[in-house]
Amino acid sequence: MSEVGGIDLLFHTNTESNKTDEIKSDPHVNISFINSSGDWASVSGVSEVVTDRSLVKKHYSSELKAWLGDLGDGKHDGSENDPRIGIIRVKTNTITYAVSHKTLVGKLAQVAEGIVTGSAAQVNKLREISSHDIEKWRASQSLAQ
């Protein structure tokens, strides 16, 4: 899930988990993603735990019941009204990502060349999105609304 035109990330959480305590202690996070082609992204940002029921209900999925369970007390039932369900919001600061630009054979050739020559294999293109660029994106999204 995301906000602000996809730049800020949202995750469901159990507000009674240790993760929420860790976020209160140090809200700085890094989230990494990789796909089967070797493309990856690394997002750094500042997180917060949000318990606002309207936001929870907006992003609620009944599949969350499988992860929280029903405690049988009529309150902690895994529904959208379960007070254990919260949202971790990550306000993105910077993004670094790598996109593969070679086939598998091309990657293997680059690795072999690196082994022989001692140079680093060039199997992907590294890109960075700065905090300045992200703030410009946020500003453009607020104008669009």
At 99-125, the pLDDT tens digits run: 887 777 777 787 787 788 887 777 678
CATH number for the domain spanning 9: value is 2.30.110.10
In-domain check, residue 105: no
Q: What are phi and psi of 41, to 5 degrees?
A: -140, 145
Average pLDDT, the chain: 89
In-domain check, residue 90: yes
CA distance 54 to 57: 5
For the chain, strand residue ranges (E) read 2-3, 8-14, 28-34, 40-50, 85-100, 124-129
For the cut 70, the answer to whether the pLDDT of residue 37 exceeds it is: yes
CA distance 3 to 59: 11
Could you tell me how many residues make up the chain?
A: 145
In-domain check, residue 77: yes
Q: What are phi and psi of 120, to 5 degrees?
A: -70, 140
For the cut 80, the answer to whether the pLDDT of residue 45 exceeds it is: yes
In-domain check, residue 104: no
In-domain check, residue 16: yes
In-domain check, residue 119: no
Query: Domain range holding 135?
Result: 2-95+129-144
Structural domain count, the chain: 1
Confirm if 39 and 86 have CB atoms less than 8 A apart: no
**What is the pTM (predicted TM-score) of this model?**
0.79
- Rounded to an integer, the average pLDDT of 37-49 is 94
Model confidence pLDDT, tens digit, residues 131-145: 999 999 888 887 766
In-domain check, residue 100: no
Q: How far is CA 124 from CA 87, 107, 112, 118, 121, in A?
A: 34, 9, 15, 17, 9
In-domain check, residue 54: yes
